Homo-oligomer: A and B are copies of this chain.
Amino acid sequence: RPKRALDCPFCPGNEDLTPPEIMRIGSSRSWQIRVVPNRFPILGDGEQYTEDGLYKSRSGKGFHDIVIETPIHDQHITEFSADEMNLVIDIYQTLMSKRNKTPGVRYTLIFKNYGRRAGASLKHSHSQVIAMPILPRRVREEIDSSRRYYQRHKSCIFCRIIAEEIKRKERIVVDNDHFIGFVPYAARIPFEVWIIPKRHRGYFTAITTEERHALARILLSVLRRTRIVLEDPPFNFFIHTGPSHLDVNRYYHYHLVIMPVTSILGGFELGSGFYVNQSSAEVDARMLREVG
């Protein structure tokens, strides 16, 4: 297993293959984590607005950064120590806070693709941070729905879900003082797992040091269990959080969603927007729980 790869732009010694560094943990010769702009960003400097007949378009102004999570070429994220994972989450928080302060940024999405079938083109462990000028559709839907729930019931839907799951136990994979990791009721795909703060927390950027360590531990635990049960599957994860320009503190919890690549979207899913999940959340959760 190669610790370094000659042609990998994320390996030590190849720092000149990436654009200039934005952040770093460690010294420039012996770094632990680097943040660099993506060489092929999906968002850039442009702020052009065009009306082309019926259609209106806006060029994507924003940032597309890469978090190189480890100097070791072949280190799987589940092989990170809790301290190493804590540093990655620390970088997420710092970078998201920085990007959120940039004028024009409406939302910063942090996500990871692992494995080719999950969209990763490079093997060296990394995640991506995209700061964009509009609120993503999925986040807007969650915020709108939870706001409506709050208006009707005078309570936070996420707090209620957490209480329900803790009472029922059967969909919980693992929990600690600050977070639960569970397979959601009506999960979209087999082995989908949500990691969510137990206490009412709208914004990932407001995470405390203690919470950050707890998140690192539970994320490692869920990813390790998933790796064992599904035999090193490709997977994606992403963080959904309150956007800095809205006050969602009363009715929203930030959360991290892990989606292993366990199914193929067919014409039914594409045409309807519904997901067929042949698995049972309770059985999936038990399998993940029992390999602990």
Contacts and interface: CB of A to CB of B under 8 A. Distances in A.
Contacts of A136: 271-274
Interface in A137-163: 137-139, 141, 160-161
A138 B42 contact: no
Interface residues of A, number: 48
Copies of this chain, tallied across the complex: 2
A111 B118 CA distance: 25
A271 B137 CA distance: 9
A165 B7 CA distance: 45
Contacts of A167: 53
Contacts of A70: none
A1 interface: no
A237 interface: yes
A259 interface: yes
Contacts of A168: 53
Contact of A238 (B112, B130, B264, B271): B271
A48 interface: no
A175 to B, nearest CB: 18
B42 A109 contact: no
Contacts of A272: 109, 132, 136-139
Contact of A42 (B52, B117, B276): B276
A271 B109 contact: yes
Interface string A115-142: 0111110000000101010001111010
Most chain B CB atoms below 10 A, which of A55, A137, A168, A267: A267
A128 B267 contact: yes
A238 B118 CA distance: 24
A135 to B, nearest CB: 9
Contacts of A52: 185
A55 B139 CA distance: 21
Nearest to A265: B119
B54 A267 contact: no
A91 interface: no
Contacts of A57: 186
A111 B266 contact: yes
17 contacts: A42-B268, A53-B167, A54-B164, A55-B164, A109-B268, A111-B266, A116-B264, A118-B264, A119-B264, A120-B266, A128-B267, A128-B268, A138-B272, A141-B273, A238-B271, A239-B271, A240-B271
Interface of A: 42, 52-55, 57, 109, 111-113, 116-120, 128, 130, 132, 136-139, 141, 160-161, 164, 167-168, 185-186, 236-240, 257, 259, 264-268, 270-274, 276
